[in-house]
Amino acid sequence: MTAARANESRPRRPEMTYAFWGAVALAVLLLAGTLVSAVWTSSVSPADPGNTTQVVLGQAVYAKHCAACHGAKLEGQPNWRDRLANGRMPAPPHDETGHTWHHPDSVLFGITKEGLVPGKYAPKGYQSDMPAFGGALRDEEIWAVLAYIKSTWPPRELAHQREVDRQSRTRR
């Protein structure tokens, strides 16, 4: 306070004031820019539903490799919540009525590439009809199919999955 009042009594030097506030504005801008770019890079997923090229590739991969079980419209197998006669679970939908959007990217990618590995993505001894696509698809194709699946989700599910994914990244 005292320093400020002492300042007021001194004759003003506008060019100093401009230089000072100019420097402050520049510092604020630089800081904001750094923050925005940090948040941006950490939030862009390798499976980006906003990337049209990726989504188009993913749609083709889906039709060829996933639709037979998960449904042409991502609707899943009929009565997908009920166990089959063989004791295994049917393929769940990948649209917003399923639970694909409950999982972070790393888990979706892992399940698609390796299958529902017991002890990793499923309980020990778990048996599943979900194939491992590591041999049939390249990593880019797996990210693309996930981008396509995401591109069908309404904003609420998309935002939820993004948050789950963000939290799984900060925990790692």
Which residues within the stretch 106-125 sit at the binding site for ligand HEC (CB under 6 A)? 108, 111-112, 116
91 binds ligand HEC (CB under 6 A): yes
88 binds ligand HEC (CB under 6 A): yes
47 binds ligand HEC (CB under 6 A): no
25 by DSSP, 3-state: which?
helix
129 binds ligand HEC (CB under 6 A): yes
Task: Please name which of 81, 89, 166 lies closest in space to residue 126, comparing C-alpha atoms.
Answer: 89
Contacts with ligand HEC: how many residues (CB under 6 A)? 24
Directed axis angle between helix 139-151 and helix 105-114, to 10°? 130
Q: Which of 99, 120, 138, 156 binds ligand HEC (CB under 6 A)?
A: 99
68 binds ligand HEC (CB under 6 A): yes
138 binds ligand HEC (CB under 6 A): no
Closer CB to ligand HEC, 22 or 118, in the complex: 118
Q: Phi and psi at residue 113, in whole multiples of 5°?
A: -75, -40
Q: Which of 56, 114, 128, 164 binds ligand HEC (CB under 6 A)?
A: 128
Q: Which of 133, 144, 147, 157 binds ligand HEC (CB under 6 A)?
A: 133
Q: Phi and psi at residue 118, in whole multiples of 5°?
A: -60, 140
109 by DSSP, 3-state: which?
helix
Other Cβ atoms within 10 Å of 56 Cβ, number: 14
73 binds ligand HEC (CB under 6 A): no
Cα 62 from Cα 68, distance rounded (Å): 9
Query: At a CB cut-off of 8 Å and minimum separation 6, what does 164 contact?
Result: 102, 103, 104
Cα 4 from Cα 158, distance rounded (Å): 51
Beta carbon of residue 103, minimum distance to ligand HEC (angstroms, whole number):
6
**Chain contacts with ligand HEC (rule: CB under 6 A):** 65-66, 68-70, 88-92, 98-100, 103, 108, 111-112, 116, 128-131, 133, 145
